[in-house]
Structure 1
Amino acid sequence: MQTRWLSSAALVAAAMSAASAHAADPTDANRAVMRAFVDTAYGDKQVRKAYEAYAVPDLVQHNPNIADGRDAAIAEVEGLLNNPAAHFDVKHVVVDGDMATVHFRGSLGNGMGAAVFEQFRLKDGKIVEHWDAFQVIDPKATARNTHPFF
């Protein structure tokens, strides 16, 4: 069995290549953007401030019930949060490269709620695209397991 040894120069080159690849990965920076966006929009309920700071004006919207553009997204989310009983409990924020997913429990205070996944695409530190999907949480329904939704 032959053992291969790398020269010091090869090790340094490999380390520099790995560091360069890591530096080009936007995950850490986008994670900070998404955490700030989520905290501001859902935690502080400052929707306009969050979208104006972290989303582009021409935001592409994939929810067929919301028009394209940052202002349409602001109007939609502000409309939900204007209900004093509205509550959004963020469970997870997952970021990989330029894609981010926010998983939360939402309720408008009427006894019903939803498990929501929002998917965002970021470019240059700004949200440029949005998708969402949800499952209605019916408090009268019986789950077939002990861990539905979360």
Structure 2
Amino acid sequence: MTMTTLMATAAIALALPFAALADSDQNKALVLEALQNTLLAGDVDAVDDYFATDIIQHNPMFDNGIEAQKGVVGFLAGSGDFKADYIRVIADDDIVAVHARYEGFGETPMIAFDVFRVEDGKIAEHWDNLIEEQPLNPSGRSQIDGATEITDLDQTEANKALVEEFLTKSMIDHAEINITDYISPVTYLQHNPMVADGLEGFGAFMAEMAQKDISMNYAQVHQVIGEGNFVLTLSEGTLGDEPTAFYDLFRLEDGLIVEHWDVIAPMPGPDAAHNEAGKF
């Protein structure tokens, strides 16, 4: 291999991560602009600018296609009460995930994760999971407060791998693990409404669930989305006997989980209203 070829190969290799970052940033900006100019502005006509004609919709309450998306925007515009706070936004190539608080879907604000897939400059697919806002948890934390700064971009893939391994071993396989290989024994900030901080809080919650004979089982991790120190997973399983969607957001430091948010919501049964695409 000549020096010229070697240098060209190295240049391409170095450029690839930066190109991916640029695409992720562009997709993140597109999604935020789309949300601002359609949902928040109540502009039905703007939907065509940001959403693919054949958008795939995984929210079981809505149909696929752009006309259904226009219906959502029109409904929210007509209510006059819709508000949104976007607390965290992470992008992983063509996937953008938003951690949000919504008002206007009902009497109680909703906490949500919205996940979008971008293709050819438009939103082509959407997943979400929502739950009513709950009181502060035993450690005084809400479902949305906490760290927001994205750091450690060079650790994205390692962090994704650790989180996926943790969920697979602990929640799917129920294998015996050394939990401190995954969760920091020093700092573990918890935003689940029922769970206190620290490994002690997590252990106490799991013990209480066992005492009440309520099992929590993950069957499959469908997506692992990461940007730097944040990793979001989309999983399905059961809580008790009820089919459940688990969206978990983890923040990592030095290769360990130090903070956790989630939205855990029941999935519609086979007889409930749902669209063709399914929850995942």
TM-score, normalization: structure 2? 0.45
Q: 1:90 aligns with which of 86, 109, 121?
A: 86
Structure 1 contact 47–74 (Cα < 8 Å) conserved: yes
Q: Are residue 36 (structure 1) and residue 19 (structure 2) matched?
A: no
Q: CA deviation at 1:12?
A: 5.5
| CA distance in structure 2 between the partners assigned to 1:38 and 1:109 by the alignment | 16
Structure 1: stretches of 5+ with no match in the other structure? 1-6
**C-alpha distance in 2, partners of 1:53/1:61?**
17
CA contact (8 A) 2:136 2:143 kept: no
Of 73, 94, 99, 2:95 maps to: 99
**Cα 1:28/1:109, change in 2 over 3 Å:** closer
* Partner SS, residue 127 of structure 1: strand
Does 2:69 align with 1:78?
no
**Residue 34 of structure 1 contacts residue 93 of structure 1 at CA under 8 Å; is this kept in 2?**
no
Deviation at 1:110, TM superposition (A): 5.7
Q: CA deviation at 1:113?
A: 0.7
Count of paired positions: 141
| C-alpha distance after superposition, 1:19-67 (max 9, x if no partner) | 1453366213212211211221244332440x21111111111111101
1:145 aligns with 2:139: yes
- The equivalences for 1:15-54 within 5 A come to 15-23=11-19, 26-49=23-46, 51-54=47-50
Q: Distance in 1 between matches of 2:34 and 2:70?
A: 12
Take 2:105 and 2:126, find their aligned partners in 1: how far apart are those partners?
Answer: 25
Structure 1 residues 123 and 142, CA gap change in structure 2 (3 angstroms)? closer
Following TM superposition, where does structure 1 have runs of at least 4 consecutive aligned residues deviating by more than 3 angstroms?
A: 7-13
RMSD across aligned positions (CA): 2.5
How far apart are the structure 2 equivalents of 1:135 and 1:32?
A: 26
User: Aligned partners of 1:123, 1:131: CA distance in 2, in Å?
Assistant: 15
Residue 111 of structure 2 aligns with which residue?
115
Structure 1-normalised TM-score? 0.78
Structure 2 stretches lacking a partner, 5+ long? 145-280
- 78 and 24 in structure 1: CA distance in 2 versus 1, 3 angstrom threshold: same
CA shift, 1:111, in A, is 4.4
The equivalent of 1:14 in structure 2 is: 10
Structure 2: distance between partners of 1:59 and 1:68: 6
SS in structure 1 at match of 2:123: strand
